[in-house]
Structure 1
């Protein structure tokens, strides 16, 4: 039976055929296959190397996801267990491979897309989670100063979540904090995974892997949402990149609706809620997410929404919460919020 590394190599030898089968909404552009994302949506964000020493390697500029063709099969098909991923890859490799030249010079019709909506794949994983309270995921966030995370329905815990090392092809499982990414109607469109492991002195930290944070599914325009009442106007909300950043803000402003968009690109593309009048955008001290803040600010202004950037004293709001404490964080926010929002959302 082929190992994971051998399966990956076999798929890479047929990289264009893999792309035409699983990413049929894309097209070949020189040495690359270009498509919108792993869910086979149209666009130009994801590119796959088709030739050379990096054949089969892919990356998505919008989500920062990357990997080999085994990862692409897993994400495209919404598979969780490696046995299922390997089975799908073996099944594909047993199929007759189309002649790439004939495909390019023929009538131009692509293979029919595989109907595997990203929402279904994400929902499957999130349904497998357990409530966060009392789990390793809860302990991890408590160590970060976030004490009420278990009250958020968007967070769950998976005790043994599949992980594949993109460099070696090795597979393993780790406990994982799972956050549901939802659209404006509350439907799960994606998930964000933080893989966890025990650290020194009995503490909990991120798993000892190269990429302890990974996203799956449809993130663009959507976000992890906290305190969003379903079907109601949201006149005031806060948005930012990081999960822990927004959970830290929610710790001291538990009644304010908030979202974590997970990356700068997704922050810029976040779809504002209906009825929004003021939008607080959480900034970090560095400049990495500046284009996300600027992009979301421009979109808010076009909709007549007032964007207000709030900044931490240290590197990010979680660092403020841990090192300066909730009272100091509250005072800093009081100076930055509109007076009516400070009165409504901050403690006296």
Structure 2
């Protein structure tokens, strides 16, 4: 391949951040080389997974401010362009990925690198029937995890974690049934089990299809918080079109039998959604899990008004595009759509909750 960056005879080692930036500048060449069975989809390169089989679950941003950023919406793995090299070629080793990247970018003349460790593409993934089987296995694993975990979070680290985020569920009178505490959930990143907050992701029909995991850790002072991981939050199972049903609002009816004229607040994350539930308990509150999934959510026609409680990601073009897609989709469905966004850039509604004594709420602000 051609050299993208020629340098003088004196070679120097480059930092991980430098390499990630340089790789991102050439992501339109890098992504197809790493994942040749993918396809260009707008501003993204789409493929089935880090193993490289055809599909849509993994997306690599090809242009804009977030070029080089990637996410696997099935496994929850994500990162920058250097992380992509590490995950695809070297089993997650950034050290080996850095050496390979310097050679690929012509920043080094060593010509050597560690042995490649590509994830094998199983032959059975060549048929849609077997792809469905893989998805069913992940879904079954998610259901086992959920059903093996006792219901309720009262008195558990989940309750403490949420209180540390300013979310006191006693204000609602009860804890959402969509949340549970599991004392030991396997975390691949550290290769051991950690305590976790689980959240049930249900399909439009109400069937549990995936489980959202937030790994937790206790600080030296005894405070429960998110575990210090690169990816402290991951989803087990596919969840396209589904959501986390956190609060039923004034009707107290399940989403599938929501009354005519029901109003729903839709947020991206769990903590933001719970903050909105405390502020506006009269409204139904749902977490979309990701902005990309928000536009795909399937909601009953009886929900005639949606308030999208968005994070203030001003300056993030890809996030704004995904948000606009969701707003447009809801409007095309004939619903009244309102956008509620904190005034300060970088904030979400949980930030507003924790920084103020009480929260006016996305509707009342």
| TM-score using structure 2 length | 0.62
Judging changes above 3 Å, is the alpha-carbon distance between structure 1 residues 212 and 109 closer, same or farther for their aligned structure 2 residues?
closer
Question: In the aligned structure 2, how far is the partner of 1:137 from the partner of 1:154?
Answer: 12
1:145-197, CA deviations, whole angstroms, 9 ceiling, x for partnerless residues? 111186101000100111112xxxx5111100011111122211111111111
- Superposition deviation, residue 334 in structure 1: 1.6
2:336 equivalent to 1:333: no
**Counterpart Cα distance in 2 of 1:42 and 1:236:** 39
SS at match of 2:197: strand
User: What are the residue-to-residue correspondences of 1:53-92 with 2, within 5 Å?
Assistant: 60=72, 64-66=76-78
Of 134, 151, 154 in structure 1, the residue corresponding to residue 175 of structure 2 is: 151
Corresponding residue number in structure 1 for 2:186: 162
1:126 is paired with a residue whose SS is helix
- Number of residue pairs aligned between Structure 1 and Structure 2: 260
Alpha-carbon displacement from aligned partner over 1:103-126 (angstroms, at most 9, x marks no partner): 8xxxx9749516351432221111
- Aligned residue runs from structure 1 range 174-189, under 5 A: 174-189=194-209
Q: Distance in 1 between matches of 2:155 and 2:90?
A: 34
Report deviation, 1:36.
4.6
Residue 226 of structure 2 corresponds to: 206
Equivalent position of 2:193 in the other structure: 173
Change (3 A) 1:266 1:146: same
1:278 aligned partner = 305
Deviation of 1:207 (Å): 1.2
Q: Distance in 1 between matches of 2:207 and 2:145?
A: 14
Match of 2:97 in 1: none
State the shift of 1:325 in Å: 2.1
CA distance in 2, matches of 1:37, 1:320: 36
* Alpha-carbon distance in 1 for matches of 2:196, 2:205: 26
Offset at 1:245? Answer: 0.4
Q: 1:325 to 1:223 in 2, by over 3 A?
A: same
User: In structure 2, the residue corresponding to 1:269 is in which secondary structure?
Assistant: coil
Bigger drift between 126-135 and 142-151 goes to: 142-151
| CA positional deviation for 1:292 | 2.6
The CA deviation string for residues 179-232 of structure 1, in whole angstroms up to 9 with x for no partner, is 111112221111111111112422111112221111111221111112343331
The equivalences for 1:290-309 within 5 A come to 290-309=320-339
The whole-number CA distance in structure 1 between the counterparts of 2:213 and 2:276 is: 20
| Structure 1 alignment gaps of length 5 or more | 1-28, 49-57, 72-96, 336-348
Contact 1:65 1:215 in 2 (8 A): no
Deviation of 1:263 after TM superposition, in Å, equals: 1.4
In structure 2, list runs of 5 or more residues that go unmatched: 1-31, 39-46, 61-69, 79-86, 92-119
Answer yes or no: is 1:232 the counterpart of 2:272.
no
Deviation, 1:233, is 2.9
Measured after TM superposition, the shift of residue 323 of structure 1 is 1.0
**Correspondence for 1:318:** 350
Gap change, CA 1:332 and 1:45, over 3 Å in 2? closer
